[in-house]
Amino acid sequence: MTQYKIKLFEPVIEQEDIEAVIEVLKSGWLAHGPVVETFEQEFARYIGVEHAATVSNGTVALALALKALGVGPGDRVLVPDYTFIASATAAIMIGATPVFVDVDSKTFNISVDDVLQKVEEPGVKAIVAVHLFGHPAEIKALKEIATDKRLLLVEDAAQAHGAEAWGKKVGSFGDAAIFSFYATKNMTMGEGGIVVSNEKSVIEKVKMLRNHGQSARYLHVELGWNFRITSMQAALGRVQLRKLDRLNDLRRQNASYLSSLLSRLEGVEIPYEAPWAKHVYHVYAVKLGTRNIRDCVQKCMTSNGIEVAVHYPIPLHAQPVFRNMGYAECCPTSSALAEKELSLPVHPKLGREELKLVAETFAKCLERCREEVKQQIQ
């Protein structure tokens, strides 16, 4: 395993997190208990919605949110082509069919223009608006389209805890929204997810589906699963939620500082933040000129002990699993971004000196890689 001087992601686990989990362990109530319900209420209040239901992970959260809203076999769901695969496979898990939509070149999020084209296709029932990398999608426009076309709007905010659009938290715009609490997220339980909504019936349905389809103890009214979380996870989540805004502020400060250092470099496009948006930088995504240069810089940074990554090297329509299902070439912007994106560290545990080292190493790697690629062409 590579030992990095600077990691791309690093969870902020402090003494209060540890003590909260120990308290639950001492209580003896380790499975789904009152602390889970308390966390659900606190998270719903933070987002600005009425109801919430925790589940085992973000993928399950999206599948159950869609199912609870009535999406199922025969329905088509618009999903951005440039995102983590779970945004699409969640629809397949419940028998629906994803329709891939191109993305905006600045924000990496689903393209409103392409949505307007593809909502006209037969069978479309829902739009999944992914707030990728922590930058909100154009959720107002998407909500207007959904309302006009009588479609469901589900926000996939797995990477956007605390992000805002027009002064409102993401997750408060759609018919339902989901978040993930995986270890690398802006707040974590190690694993876990949550569905939020203002519709009580949606959340009641999710709670039933996550618990073997029970409407009452040992009364199973439909097929369900065991998708509950533990009280230990919820205890950790409660502490993580209390410090989320502080940690997001640190991410934003680190991103701003790194941008000030990288903005002087020719041929590097730093992350964009729309005037109406609050970006929470789950991922600090830069764009480089070509795949050759991007891949070379990635290798160079890694060899210098700085962890970077590509999110995502293959657009969804080109993934073998979807090619085998008959999906054709689409979404040119998505394909172009897959050739250029590189993620750099800005997590809250980094200080100015470490960020300066990231920028200096990046600049040296970029210069070296440009020369190498130039020689290869000659």
Question: What is the CATH classification number for the domain harbouring 107?
Answer: 3.40.640.10
CATH code where residue 373 lies: 3.90.1150.10
Are 238 and 253 part of one and the same domain? no
Measured at the CA of 202, the angle between CA 128 and CA 234, to 5 degrees, comes to 90
Are 282 and 185 part of one and the same domain? no
Domain count for the chain: 2
| Residue 24's pLDDT band (cuts 50, 70, 90) | very high
| Residue 298's pLDDT band (cuts 50, 70, 90) | very high
CB under 8 A, 24+ apart: contacts of 319-327: 319/85, 321/85, 322/88, 322/100, 327/100
Q: Mutual orientation of helices 352-377 and 291-303 as an angle, nearest 10°? A: 130
| Residue 203's pLDDT band (cuts 50, 70, 90) | very high
pLDDT digits (tens, 9 = 90+) for 275-285: 999 999 999 99
Are 251 and 224 part of one and the same domain? no
- Given a cut of 70, whether residue 104 has pLDDT beyond it is yes
Are 173 and 268 part of one and the same domain? no
Residue 72: partners with Cβ closer than 8 Å, 6 or more residues away = 94, 95, 96
Q: Which of 130, 100, 88 is nearest to 327 (CA)?
A: 100
Rounded average pLDDT over 300-313:
98
pLDDT digits (tens, 9 = 90+) for 319-331: 999 999 999 999 9
Rounded average pLDDT over 117-125:
97
- Given a cut of 90, whether residue 374 has pLDDT beyond it is no
pLDDT number for residue 378: 60
Are 359 and 222 part of one and the same domain? no
| Residue 3's pLDDT band (cuts 50, 70, 90) | confident
When computed from its CA atoms, the radius of gyration of the chain, rounded to whole angstroms, is 21
Q: Which domain holds residue 322?
A: 245-377
- Given a cut of 90, whether residue 17 has pLDDT beyond it is yes
In a domain, 7, yes or no: no
pLDDT number for residue 2: 72
Q: Which of 90, 255, 51 is nearest to 171 (CA)?
A: 51
pLDDT number for residue 129: 98
Are 220 and 326 part of one and the same domain? no
Which of 242, 262, 281 delimits the end of a domain?
242
